[in-house]
């Protein structure tokens, strides 16, 4: 990571920069009287279970402290398939005499998460179904070491219990363990946890395309069974459906969002799906910058299509895009391939860009992925620097967005006009917030972008995450000149003086 020179900020004064002697071609224009819509959007993140979040791991304490400091709502928690011992509470089928329920390794991470998010809404998603509940040619084995990665745990496509009661009861017991103080197992034995956490949302499975590959019809049947089982003991719980890895198949949305395809009384509270930008091994930052934002624009067009389906079939259903990020091809390489320092800022800018676009489309929850990744488990998706335990630029960009923008803000028309490149390479959105007038600007390019700010910004505050801030908090400065420069992949918030 680059070291930060003392006093280096994003703000560049034109008269000390010879390149700006004639002034930039572009000017920021904001029409504060033209409000386009009221935001419904809440920025947040997901926490995916992995060994770095276990107590005693090198970055455990820093990670949960960073999560608590964010103070986000709708935080998503996902124990999932690569680590069966960290996410599956009943690894063996019950016999006539005993069951294998065991939360010894699962509880510490889960309770640390629930305590770090206490006072804020959460979405729990124990995504992985015990392998023995599916028909397979041979029993599925799993490693004794809970930290060992296993990518083929979810085998089989047909549940052994075609009524789905076995699977539904499993998830109902999981919910009860953390929300209701315990549960009674298959043999009638009560297991007491003593936990009574507030769990307002439960998401049913994660990226089902990768776990048993059900059809939309099969998934909907399973969703209904799980929802029915949990609601018996917790009528107020709300549910999130689908959690699709790929949002390109309209059949999923057409089928799942049609109330006629569900049991009577089954709620369609919220749907979810994911977006990651990918780059190939031979792409450097100068190429990847275009790849990532082009893919983001394609995803945003798809969201418009999905929204039309949702509004037509189930207009009261909310949407969470609860995994937004980027994945480098080098994540799949062994040994570890160093990640360029600039990548973290490119990925941070990507999230901010998608946040703005989804806010304009009225998406309810916009979640960055993920708190911790590390080598062997998608290191390029991490919001923590797994080498030193400090939050990286992806984390700080989310915090910058979360601390400044929220549901209820008014979106205001703004753009950059002129003959320069800033108009096309810098994304800008103005907001009227409870704290005053603000702008969110994102430099999508691996080069500085210059433009003129209106005089009304003089005396305002500037907060920036860019290549100079690295693993540190956003740089803060006061605006006292009109010509500024955004460093490569900068995410910046401009706050107008209170008098404006």
The side-by-side arrangement of strands in the sheet containing 475-478 is 475-478, 461-465, 491-495, 436-443, 426-433, 410-418, 26-38, 449-452, 483-486
Of 12-16, 76-80, 163-167, the range with the lowest mean pLDDT is: 12-16
- pLDDT value at position 25? 84
- pLDDT value at position 481? 79
Can you say how many angstroms the Cα of residue 111 is from the centroid of all Cα atoms in its chain? 20
Cβ atoms within 10 Å of 497's Cβ, excluding its own: 15
List the beta bridge partners of residue 414: 30
399-421: average pLDDT: 95
pLDDT, tens digit, 9 for 90 and up, residues 145-154 = 999 999 999 9
Return the closest-CA partner of residue 275 out of 258, 298, 252: 298
- pLDDT value at position 205? 98
- Please report which confidence band the pLDDT of residue 160 belongs to, taking 50, 70 and 90 as the band edges: very high
Which residue shows structure tokens 């990925």? 347
> Are the C-beta atoms of 370 and 496 separated by less than 8 Å?
no
Q: How far apart are CA 75 and CA 44, in angstroms?
A: 6
List the beta bridge partners of residue 272: 242, 320
pLDDT(497) > 60: yes
State the pTM of this model: 0.93
Q: How far apart are CA 498 and CA 130, in angstroms?
A: 56
pLDDT, tens digit, 9 for 90 and up, residues 192-235 = 999 999 999 999 999 999 999 999 999 999 999 999 999 999 99
pLDDT(170) > 90: yes
> Are the C-beta atoms of 223 and 229 separated by less than 8 Å?
no
pLDDT(12) > 80: no
- pLDDT value at position 17? 36
- pLDDT value at position 20? 37
Q: How far apart are CA 120 and CA 303, in angstroms?
A: 27
> Are the C-beta atoms of 130 and 170 separated by less than 8 Å?
yes
Structure tokens at 486: 């955004």
Please, is 476 exposed, middle or buried when counting C-beta atoms within 10 Å of its C-beta (0-12, 13-18, 19+)?
A: exposed
Write the CB contacts of 307 (distance below 8 Å, at least 6 apart in sequence).
Answer: 319, 361, 362
Structure tokens at 335: 């040994």
pLDDT, tens digit, 9 for 90 and up, residues 47-78 = 999 999 999 999 999 999 999 999 999 999 99
- pLDDT value at position 10? 35
For the chain, domains (ranges, CATH) are: 14-38+410-495 (2.60.40.1180), 42-404 (3.20.20.80)
Cβ atoms within 10 Å of 222's Cβ, excluding its own: 21
Return the closest-CA partner of residue 393 out of 449, 447, 468: 468
Write the CB contacts of 443 (distance below 8 Å, at least 6 apart in sequence).
Answer: 349, 425, 426, 449, 466, 486, 487, 488, 489, 490, 491, 492
Backbone angles phi, psi at 251, to 5 degrees: -60, -35
């Amino acid at each position: 990571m680059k070291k930060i020179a003392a006093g280096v900020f994003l703000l560049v004064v034109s008269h000390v920069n010879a390149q700006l002697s004639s002034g930039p071609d572009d000017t920021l224009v904001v029409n504060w009287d033209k409000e386009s819509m009221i935001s419904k959007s809440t920025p947040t993140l997901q926490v995916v279970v992995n060994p770095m979040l276990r107590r005693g791991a090198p970055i455990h304490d820093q990670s949960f402290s960073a999560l608590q400091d964010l103070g986000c709502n709708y935080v998503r928690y996902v124990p999932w398939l690569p680590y069966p011992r960290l996410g599956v509470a009943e690894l063996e089928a019950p016999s006539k005499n005993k069951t294998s329920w065991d939360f010894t390794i699962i509880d510490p991470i889960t309770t640390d998460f629930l305590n770090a998010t206490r006072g804020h809404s959460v979405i729990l998603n124990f995504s992985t179904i015990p392998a023995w509940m599916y028909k397979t040619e041979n029993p599925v084995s799993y490693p004794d070491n809970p930290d060992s990665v296993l990518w083929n745990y979810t085998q089989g496509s047909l549940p052994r219990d075609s009524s789905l009661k076995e699977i539904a009861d499993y998830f109902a017991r999981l919910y009860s363990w953390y929300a209701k103080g315990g549960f009674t197992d298959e043999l009638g034995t009560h297991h007491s946890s003593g936990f009574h956490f507030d769990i307002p949302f439960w998401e049913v499975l994660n990226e089902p395309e990768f776990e048993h590959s059900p059809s939309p019809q099969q998934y909907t049947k399973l969703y209904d069974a799980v929802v029915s089982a949990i609601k018996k003991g917790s009528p107020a719980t709300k549910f999130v459906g689908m959690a699709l890895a790929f949002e390109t198949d309209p059949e999923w949305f057409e089928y799942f969002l049609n109330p006629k395809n569900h049991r009577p009384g089954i709620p369609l509270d919220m749907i979810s799906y994911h977006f990651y930008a990918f780059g190939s091994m031979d792409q450097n930052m100068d190429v990847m910058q275009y790849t990532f934002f082009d893919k983001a624009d394609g995803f945003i067009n798809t969201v418009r299509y999905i929204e039309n389906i949702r509004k037509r079939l189930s207009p009261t259903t909310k949407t969470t895009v609860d995994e937004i990020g980027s994945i480098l091809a080098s994540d799949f390489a062994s040994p570890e391939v160093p990640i360029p320092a600039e990548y973290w800022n490119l990925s941070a800018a990507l999230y901010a860009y998608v946040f703005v676009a989804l806010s304009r489309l009225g998406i309810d929850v916009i979640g960055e992925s993920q708190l911790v990744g590390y080598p062997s488990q998608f290191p390029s998706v991490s919001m923590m620097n797994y080498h030193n335990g400090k939050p990286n630029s992806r984390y700080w960009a989310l915090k910058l967005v979360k601390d400044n923008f929220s549901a209820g803000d008014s979106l205001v028309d703004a753009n950059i006009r002129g003959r320069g490149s800033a108009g096309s390479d810098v994304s800008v959105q103005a907001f009227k917030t409870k704290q005053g007038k603000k702008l969110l600007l994102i430099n999508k390019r691996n080069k500085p972008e210059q433009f003129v700010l209106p005089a009304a910004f003089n005396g305002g505050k500037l907060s920036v995450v860019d290549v100079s801030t690295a693993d540190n908090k956003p740089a803060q400065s006061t605006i006292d000149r009109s010509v500024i420069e955004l460093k490569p992949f900068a995410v910046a918030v401009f706050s107008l003086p209170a008098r404006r």
